[in-house]
Amino acid sequence: MLKTFTMVRMKPGLSRDEFFDRWCAHTRDFDLRDHPEITLNRLTLFDEGSEAANGGFVGIAENHWPDRAALDEVIRWYQTPPGIEHNRDLEAFMDIANSPTSVVDYEVEVSEADGIEWKSGRGRG
């Protein structure tokens, strides 16, 4: 599994609730249809008023992909007419150009009971 995290900025002129409602609807209507390979779409919104402390970001999108090949295929898909249309809807409410996505390749969970438990990366397996 591969995870991506996108730090999200909203377009000006929307309330937080309007933005979050549009984001949720876009994920339901577009992402579930166009990216069935994603096993988790988690959308989170930061505490109201914390944008300045968070560098202007209002939330995080977390997506789980089966592997790098699936993510790479979607990146190519965004260059096709359906991908461009998908992105056009997203750009109506989200500042995509200033919402960077990071790919996670090392992940651990640390607890008293289990110590360091590798979820992905060099120590997994």
Encode pLDDT of 66-98 as tens digits: 999 999 999 999 999 999 999 999 999 999 999
**Residue 60 to residue 62: CA distance in whole angstroms:** 6
Quick check: 119 and 107 in contact, CB under 8 A?
yes
Q: Which residues pair with 81 in a beta bridge?
A: none
Neighbouring CB atoms inside 10 A of 3's CB total 18
Domains of the chain plus CATH, in order, are 2-120 (3.30.70.100)
Share of residues in the chain with pLDDT > 70 (%): 98
**Residue 120 to residue 91: CA distance in whole angstroms:** 32
- Residue 116: pLDDT over 80: yes
pTM (two decimals): 0.88
Encode pLDDT of 94-112 as tens digits: 999 999 999 998 889 999 9
With residue 83 as reference, give the H or E element that holds it.
helix 81-91
